[in-house]
Chains A and B, each alone.
Chain A
Amino acid sequence: MFADKHAPYYITAYVVTFLVMGWMTVDTWLRARRWRRRAEQLEKEKKP
């Protein structure tokens, strides 16, 4: 299935695409988790 002359091009395209989309997903998730935790922690500290 992946043995034709175009395979190096389209396989590279799929690998790069899913790496970039994967990186954007992980970065977004980590960013959201970090700031939610930080805001919740500061809210807790604010309350007497």
Chain B
Amino acid sequence: MFAALANPHRFMAFSRWMGPTLAAIAVTLIGVGLVLVTGAPPERWQGTAVRILYLHVPSAITAEVAYMALGAASVVSFVFRHALADAAAKTVAPLGAGFTLLALVTGSLWGETSWGTWWQWDARMTSVLILFLLFVGYIGLRASIDDETRAGRAAAILAMVGLLDLLVIKYSVSPPSWLPPLYRQLTGGELVWWNSLHQGESIFSGEMAPAFLIPLSFMIFGFLATFGALWVTRIRAEVWSRRAQALAVQAAGA
């Protein structure tokens, strides 16, 4: 499927209906999600502050998916010098920055009302701030180099190196399950990991009650569909922009 879409003509035909379809799915999921959020109960300890969960978690997941997309598009663009992959990487960065900013702002509001602090330099928060700076750095690096091809290649290197931050984010609240026993076996001691105010994994651990999980799922898929619709539309805009620039050069030379 991805190989077929690598052809810009096929991509433009596919994205003509895919963008509006994803937008319709996003509006439906977020609409239903918001209705369910208003009916969701307060959490036992946090009370109604838990309502920020339905924005913070979807924003954070979408931001990480956006960086995975940036990393994958950068690898394809760097290795195969593929123009559409370069357009995909260029257009995903502003969206990723937007969703990461939302994760930081909603997290800060949630932190103040539940922990009593807007910010802590702990591993999870700092690594997500680095993710935001990676997106902004990618945009800035591309904008600072006039030659589009060189700009794309330099920014792709930054994006590929930045993929390491996704691992830091993932393991910032708890180590991989196999690591503590291995460490104990090798050293005889207990593994010391980062201390974090941020809670550990709760969605896939089965600890979350359906009353919270169902609205949260609608919001997560709604945010992901929004991201998909915007990304597809931005890639189309970038293809048109490059076509317009090529035509303008042709017209100037004629």
Residues of A within 8 A of B (CB): 1, 4-7, 9-10, 12-14, 16-17, 20-21, 23-25, 28-29, 31-32, 34-36, 38-39, 42-43, 45-46
Contacts and interface: CB of A to CB of B under 8 A. Distances in A.
A13 B244 contact: no
Interface string B107-128: 0011011000000000000000
Contacts, number: 93
Contacts of A21: 98, 102, 226
A35 B226 contact: no
Pick the most buried of A13, A31, A39: most chain B CB atoms within 10 A of its CB. Answer: A13
A40 to B, nearest CB: 8
Nearest to A12: B109
A10 B109 CA distance: 7
B230 to A, nearest CB: 5
Contact of B102 (A20, A29, A35): A20
A2 B137 CA distance: 39
A46 B47 CA distance: 63
A9 B113 CA distance: 7
A48 B16 CA distance: 28
B226 to A, nearest CB: 6
A16 B220 CA distance: 17
Interface stretch (B50-58, B150-158, B190-198, B204-212): B50-58
Given A6-B47, A6-B49, A25 B234 contact: no
B180 to A, nearest CB: 35
A14 B96 CA distance: 19
Nearest to B19: A32
Contact of B251 (A1, A10, A46): A46
Interface string B91-113: 00011001001100110011011
Given A24-B98, A28-B233, 19 more contacts: A6-B113, A9-B52, A10-B51, A13-B52, A13-B105, A17-B55, A20-B98, A28-B230, A32-B233, A34-B237, A35-B240, A35-B244, A38-B241, A38-B244, A39-B240, A39-B243, A39-B244, A42-B251, A46-B251
A30 B230 CA distance: 12
Interface of B: 38, 46-49, 51-52, 55-56, 59, 94-95, 98, 101-102, 105-106, 109-110, 112-113, 226, 230, 233-234, 236-238, 240-241, 243-244, 247-248, 250-251
9 contacts: A6-B46, A6-B47, A7-B48, A9-B49, A16-B106, A17-B59, A31-B234, A35-B238, A42-B244
A34 B245 CA distance: 13
Contacts of B46: 6
Contact of B233 (A10, A17, A29, A42): A29
A6 B48 contact: yes
Contacts of A25: 226, 230
